[in-house]
A = this chain, B = another copy of it.
Amino acid sequence: MQYTGTAANIVRAAETLFAEQGFTETTVRQITARADVNLAAVNYHFGSKKGLIQAVAEKFLGPLCQNIEQVLDQRMAASDKTISLEELLEMLMRALLGVNQNNDHALSVFMRLLDLAYMKHQEDLRDFLIERYGSRVQTFIAMIRKDAAPMEDDEFFWRLHFLLGSITFTLSNFHTLNAIERREFESGAEVERILHRMIPVLTAGLQARADRVYFCRI
């Protein structure tokens, strides 16, 4: 399951660089140079650069889903059937933190991958993720909806992506945002604090009533 030796070095180097620069902007040369391995090693071990990206993705997505499912099962077994939004989001955040435990860049890469998956010509990646993790994610999303404000399907669809945007943007660019905060306020927050801060904000967003009238195009 876990990579060892050369392959592990490559994955480690790739995570850092993907997190800092994005996937396209990171070259195989940069990765192998940082991992201190041969240039051909990426293709040897992962078939292609795309293969490496998927490997990096799976390394986190698997444990993440597993973690959430396990905690959810425990919670469901223990008591009643409805779980509050705050609690659900806290589960999610804890799971994300777990992913981050071994590598500071893991979360950034993961979020960047989600960003990438929503780009126009990335059907391949999108399908890969949906096929692998789609159904497991749906369960969790269904739980969230139960405690959100009542709303139409499409309204919920969009709100979910507002929420997803908050998470991916903040975590993709955590390094930069942290640096800015450090410069402006002379103290920077850790990932866990930011994740925690999101909970009330996202909760409020999902529970807000949507009763306003539309404005018209000028």
Enumerate chain A interface residues (CB-CB to B < 8 A): 20-22, 24-25, 86, 90, 93-94, 97-98, 115, 118-121, 153-155, 157-159, 161-170, 172-173, 175-177, 180-181, 184-185, 187, 189, 192-194, 196-212, 214-215, 217-218
List, in ascending order, chain B residues with CB within 8 A of A177's CB: 118, 158, 161
Q: A154-B189, A205-B205 are in contact. List 9 more A-B contacts (CB 8 A).
A: A20-B119, A118-B172, A158-B177, A158-B197, A161-B169, A162-B166, A164-B169, A200-B208, A204-B204
CB distance from A85 to the nearest CB of B (A): 12
Query: How many protomers of this protein does the assembly include?
Result: 4
Decide: B158 and A189 in contact? CB cutoff 8 A: yes
List, in ascending order, chain B residues with CB within 8 A of A25's CB: 24, 119
A-B contacts, 18 of them at CB < 8 A, read: A20-B121, A22-B119, A86-B212, A94-B218, A118-B172, A118-B177, A154-B187, A158-B197, A159-B197, A159-B201, A162-B201, A165-B170, A166-B169, A168-B169, A192-B214, A200-B210, A201-B206, A201-B208
Q: Is the interface of A mostly helix, strand, loop or mixed?
A: helix
List, in ascending order, chain B residues with CB within 8 A of A153's CB: 185
Decide: A157 and B169 in contact? CB cutoff 8 A: no
CB distance from A148 to the nearest CB of B (A): 11
List, in ascending order, chain B residues with CB within 8 A of A157's CB: 180-181, 184-185
